[in-house]
A and B are shown apart, each in its own frame.
Chain A
Amino acid sequence: EVQLVESGGGLVQPGGSLRLSCAASGFTFSTYWMHWVRLVPGKGLVWVSRIQSDGSTTNYADAVEGRFTISRDNAKNTLHLQMNSLRAEDTAVYYCVRSFADGNTIFDYWGQGALVTVSS
């Protein structure tokens, strides 16, 4: 059974940092592109970042470019999102998401989500 379990969410002050992690199991993690998608209150779902199966390619939404860094450890089946210079508008539930094995960005498995609240 595919499982994605996020951790590391919490309350942080504006300008602060937080690191999210996602533990993957039930599939061959090293062969899938992985993503972070956030659910923003009142706005809906927003794609944040992606990383290629071997970690060689990463992409980011404009809103987080330069502040967030996605990474993965295929030996430990773990995905990370390092979030720096956090802003109030980064407040959201962050989901670790797997996309289809054929390379299309169709999100077939989602974690339960990690709540990040940026507030003073």
Chain B
Amino acid sequence: DIQMTQSPSTLSASVGDRVTITCRASQSISRWLAWYQQKPGKAPKLLIYRASSLESGVPSRFSGSGSGTEFTLTITSLQPDDFATYYCQQYDTYPITFGQGTRLEIK
């Protein structure tokens, strides 16, 4: 199975900050990577697919980059609504695997 490792596990930031979350794959997955946001008690929400394509309706302050084994999710100018847990997911090979999650908390 392809292992997905996110860093950091927890990130403390303030409203208006720019933050970056990293996701590393244990083998190359080309650009077959998605990012999700999840808030407590809610279903995950798709943010980014194909490493850098923004899902419809997602604010442009979210962006993704990378290919192969290293990927990043960047949020510019953090808003109060952005404090949540973020997951990366590879869909290059079954079984589909997710990173362990990055909890973005208010500093």
Residues of A in contact with B (beta carbons under 8 Å apart): 39, 43-47, 59, 61-62, 95, 100, 104-108, 110-113
Contact = CB atoms under 8 A, between A and B. Distances in A.
Sort A-B residue pairs by CB-CB distance and give the 7 closest, nearest first.
Answer: A110-B43, A105-B91, A47-B96, A45-B98, A44-B101, A106-B49, A44-B100
Nearest to A105: B91
B95 A106 contact: no
A62 B100 contact: no
Interface of B: 32, 34, 36, 38, 42-46, 49-50, 55, 87, 89, 91, 94-101
Contact of B34 (A62, A106, A111): A106
Contacts of A44: 87, 98-101
5 contacts: A44-B100, A47-B95, A47-B97, A105-B91, A110-B45
Nearest to B97: A47
Contacts of B94: 59, 105
A108 B43 contact: no
A105 B96 contact: yes
A118 to B, nearest CB: 20
Contacts of A45: 36, 38, 44, 87, 89, 98, 101
A62 B44 CA distance: 23
A102 to B, nearest CB: 10
Contacts of B42: 112
A108 B98 contact: no
B70 to A, nearest CB: 20
